[in-house]
Structure 1
Amino acid sequence: MILDPQAERFILHFGEMGGRWGVNRTVGQIYALLFLSPEPLHAEEIAETLKISRSNVSMSLHELQSWRLVLLSHKVGDRRDYFESPKDVWEIFRRLVEEKRKREIDPTLTLLRSILMEQPEDAREEYEHQRIAAMLELIELATGWFDEVQDLPPETLQSLMKLGSKVQKVLGLVGKVRKSVKLSGDQHD
């Protein structure tokens, strides 16, 4: 497979970004290649296209499978495994967030909860306890929000995301209305 300049730039960039996302360069490049490919590819095609070793391809594909970012398929009469990226970008996003949560957020929640089970012994530990409780509350709030929106249809989620700062304006207005209603209620008491 010969890459056009646009695909090559995209693949190289994903390789560079891989390190920032916690995977190596090859994993990022293979994922980008599979993302752009209209057809599933076998490991030899990937190795030849990206000019990397077959063993490096195998290890990288294994990593991508552990993230659930590649799908395995077969062709009649062909013993090779073929790989492709899910086609729906929203499904890719959901899988990434779910895997990040499972690998990073859930262990953090477990640790924070276990720390908060211990009773503070002095003022310093009480302060630390309060800070950890605030962190736990924030992470639980964020993960709770994700749990609620992850089942939304992609169109609804996309519309919600496109609202951007409009949501903030509505929430700001709602906060002012609540404060105004509370103040006027206090005057009648």
Structure 2
Amino acid sequence: MENNVLSPLMQRFISHFGEMGSRWGINRTVGQIYALLYICGRALNADEIAEYLSFSRSNVSMGLKELQSWRLVKLLHKPGDRREYFEPPGDIWDIFKVLLEERRRREIEPTLSMLRDALLEAPGSKDDKEVQKRMREMYELIELSSSWFDDVQRLSPETLVSLMKMGSKVKKLLDVRDKFRVGGSSNEKE
């Protein structure tokens, strides 16, 4: 990135992340700032970000605060320089995990809390009993997926890649396992 000029490829990537940001629950500016920091490959200060993206300094500051609240950028200081620098986590898997953790904290945990409270209430009618039954099903599914998420978070990136590459092979493996269970014998052949 010579002379703080973005190539057309970089501009396209940054623009796309701005558009996608609004679909993910962050504003366009925040998405574009993050995309710039991600593709840049080095820590940038707010003035550099503002110059690259032609944003006001105040918009950049607000965007950086939002990214910090999501734990998607780290604040750095360089010796002899009073300015603050920002960079995303270096590993794409760390970024992925942070995004999932933050989505869980902001979206899933409040839903689980509401469901827990609702399930502790004594149903006031037959309809409420049915509603609680459906809420319990939702609660159990979210809890199960949350537990699975915890397990996945502990896997190494290499293991995650292998798991993802297995794709539908996992289903075939489970189908074979179920076939042996139903048949009652592990000596059955396909």
The answer for the alignment partner of 2:167 in structure 1 is: 164
The yes-or-no answer on 1:20 pairing with 2:41 is: no
Matches within 5 A, 1:112-151: 112-151=115-154
The percentage of counterpart residues that share the same residue type is 59
Offset, 1:17: 0.3
Q: Does 2:42 correspond to 1:39?
A: yes
Q: Distance in 1 between matches of 2:179 and 2:146?
A: 27
Q: What is the rounded CA distance, in whole Å, between the counterparts of 1:108 and 1:177 in structure 2?
A: 38
* Shift in Å, 1:121: 2.6
CA offsets 1:16-54 (integer angstroms, 9 cap, x no match):
001100000000000000000111000000001100100
Corresponding residue number in structure 1 for 2:188: none
1:110 pairs with 2:103: no
Task: Give distance in 2, aligned partners of 1:173 and 1:105.
Answer: 33
TM-score (norm 2): 0.93
Aligned to 1:181: 184
> Aligned pair count?
182
Q: Output the CA distance in 2 between the equivalents of 1:119 and 1:180.
A: 43
Q: What RMSD over aligned residues (CA atoms) do the two structures have, in Å? A: 1.0
Unaligned runs of 5+ in 1: 183-189
**3-state SS in 1 of match to 2:67:** helix
Moved over 3 A (4+): none
Instruction: Tell me the equivalent position of 1:155.
Output: 158
TM-score of the superposed pair, with normalisation by structure 1:
0.94
Show CA shifts across 1:99-145 (max 9, x none): 11111111110100000001223221111011000000000000000
Q: What does residue 90 of structure 1 align with?
A: 93
SS in 1 for 2:59: helix
Deviations 1:154-188 (A, max 9, x none): 10111111111111111122122211118xxxxxx
Query: Unaligned regions of 5+ residues in structure 2, if any?
Result: 186-190
